[in-house]
Amino acid sequence: MTGIWRITDRGRDLLVRYPDGFGETTLFQIFGKFSDSGDGTGVAEGVDLDGSSAQQTPDEQIEDAIEEIHRTVADELLDKIAKAPPAFFEGLVLDLLHAMGYGASEDDLERVGQPGDGGIDGIISLDRLGFEKVYVQAKRWKGSVGRPEIQAFYGALAGRRARKGVFITTSSFTRDAREFTGQLSESIVLLDGARLTSLMIEYGIGVSHYRVIRLPKTDDDYFEDGPG
């Protein structure tokens, strides 16, 4: 039987990595253990064409697994936020900022988000007397937030003679928006969806940590100093 065969990109990578070929041990590390599929062809169990798993240490594999869990949870958080009422998201943002240490107490978190608020969704007093405040705008967007939205927020801050603001979105910011923010004398922080969910996971807002893993390693000091 004749045909046309074409090497894949992964195959080319293997040729570069193993120009002189490789033995059976390396073959199993890359492709896994082969079993008979019943049709005369071999089927690899646990195929890993780029050999990344075979080259990773156990710690690196654990770190990759944790990163994958974080990505999955982050996607779930954004999905739930998108389905929640707007007022819920505004409250979530204030809870997060409080968990991060902004505001002396829950009473220092003021939810605005009403008609005529000038685009301000929340206000956080950084001290008991309210001399220092952070103004918050929280928007659930699917598209990127651009410079016009940041300019409008800047105008709302100027109207209140505010010096600090946080613009939080579930999506992302355009390059123009970030460049405009960097040119302002007042301090405006931009928080996109990726950073938002990362902070929610870190500070336990909308998530729970169900397992603590204790990883053992040998105690070299014990073996050098001896028992007791």
Give the start-to-end residue ranges of the domains of the chain.
Answer: 9-55, 67-203
Quote the CA–CA distance of 166 and 134 in Å, as a whole number.
7
Write down the pLDDT at residue 2.
Answer: 53
Per-residue pLDDT tens over the stretch 120-164? 888 888 776 667 788 999 988 888 999 999 999 998 888 888 888
Write down the pLDDT at residue 147.
Answer: 93
Q: Which among 59, 29, 63 is positioned nearest to 47, based on CA atoms?
A: 29
Beta strands 109-111; 122-125: pairing state: antiparallel
pTM given for the model: 0.68
Beta strands 187-191; 133-139: pairing state: unpaired
Per-residue pLDDT tens over the stretch 49-99? 455 555 778 888 888 888 888 999 999 999 999 999 888 998 899 889 888
| Residues 201/74, Cβ–Cβ less than 8 Å | yes
Quote the CA–CA distance of 83 and 187 in Å, as a whole number.
31
Q: Which one of 3.30.70.260, 3.40.1350.10, 3.30.420.130, 3.30.450.20 gives the CATH number of domain 67-203?
A: 3.40.1350.10
Quote the CA–CA distance of 125 and 139 in Å, as a whole number.
21
